[in-house]
Structures are given as structure tokens and as C-alpha cells.
Amino acid sequence: MMKIRSTTVCAVVHNGQVAIGADGQATMGNTVAKSNVKKIRKLMDGKIVTGFAGSTADAFTLLERFDEKLSTYGGNMKRAAIELAKDWRTDRYLRKLEAMLIVANNEEVLIVSGTGDVLEPDNGVATIGSGSMYAQAAAVAMKKHGKEGMTAEDIVRQSLNIAADICIYTNHNLVVEKID
């Protein structure tokens, strides 16, 4: 997988709940260009939520294609993600896009990359972006050893805040969405 710098996106499936969130920082090189970018998008009337890391223009192109695939395949998220990944890997134009996606519905979370990967994490935690490993470690630890009664949203927020404390490309301006 390609290494995407400039954000952190985290999705968690926990106790029958799904939440996804991202920070709001956009960078140009080593400069903060904007601090409140919304990197989470709802599709299919809120039944599917996506988060992106990487080039914003590239991510919007991929989100549009993913939305088209969802329409083509009747809202089947996994099938749409697989078809997008196939196109992304083989299409001359799409192949050059530098972004990654996390897509989630009320049952599962997937990571979609330009290398043709559609990954469903074993532990119910999916992360992408420069702070992804910090957020992933925090989320996995909280799922295993966190306070009783923590929700998926709680875990996403705490994990993103931990990543923002460590990763210079991640800030504390969070957007978190739950899927009901």
C-alpha cells in the first residue's frame, strides 16, 4: 500500500456499532493549509459513510466513482468497493490518483486502495493516513482493554486524539459519524 501523509482516518466496529472519523488538517508540503477540512462523506442516504486520506481532488474523484458503483450494484458496498479497486488499478487515469478510502456500512468496514486492495480488518479497526498506525494501536487497545461501555464513537474519538498528539499531519478538529 502507498504511504499517504496528511491526515488520519479511523473506523471502528464495536459492540454492534460502527463509527468513522477523521481530523481536519490539510497540508501543502510541511505547511498547514487548512485546519477544518471535512474528510468524511455520507452516501446512499447515510447508509454508507466514507473517509479519505491523500490528495483531496483525487479522493473526490474516487468518491464519485464509488458512488456510481454503489448505484450500479444496488448499494452492495463490498461489490462496489471491489469494482472500484479493479478500475483504480487498471485504468490509466485512475491509476495515478493518490488517495485511499475507508468505506463503512452498519455491518462492516473496508479499506480500498489504488493497488487493488479491498481489506476487511480482522479486529474491526480500519485506519489510513499519516497517523494511521497511532490511531490503530490506540483503537485496538481500547477495544481490548478500554473502559466498559465505550462506544465505537468513543473509541474513534479517543484514537484520533491520540494520533493528533503524535502525528504532525493530524490535528484535533475531528468529524465523527455513526452509522445506525
Annotation says 61 is catalytic: no
Q: How many domains does the chain have?
A: 1
Give 3-state DSSP helix, strand, coil % of the chain, rounded to 5.
Answer: 35, 30, 35
pLDDT of residue 30: 79
Given a cut of 70, whether residue 5 has pLDDT beyond it is no
Domain boundaries, position 148: 8-179
pLDDT of residue 2: 44
Its pTM stands at 0.92
pLDDT of residue 64: 93
Cα–Cα distances in angstroms (integers) from residue 54 to residues 18, 43, 137, in the given order: 23, 19, 21
For residue 100, being part of any structural domain is answered with yes
CB contact set of 58 (below 8 Å; sequence gap of 6+): 97, 98, 99
Query: Domain containing 91 — which CATH number?
Result: 3.60.20.10
Q: Which three cell numbers stand for residue 63?
A: 468518491
CB contact set of 142 (below 8 Å; sequence gap of 6+): 150, 154, 155, 158, 159
Active-site residue (options: 7, 8, 27, 127): 7
For residue 75, being part of any structural domain is answered with yes
**Amino acid in the structure at residue 165:** D
Q: Which three cell numbers stand for residue 48?
A: 454508507
Given a cut of 90, whether residue 125 has pLDDT beyond it is yes
For residue 3, being part of any structural domain is answered with no
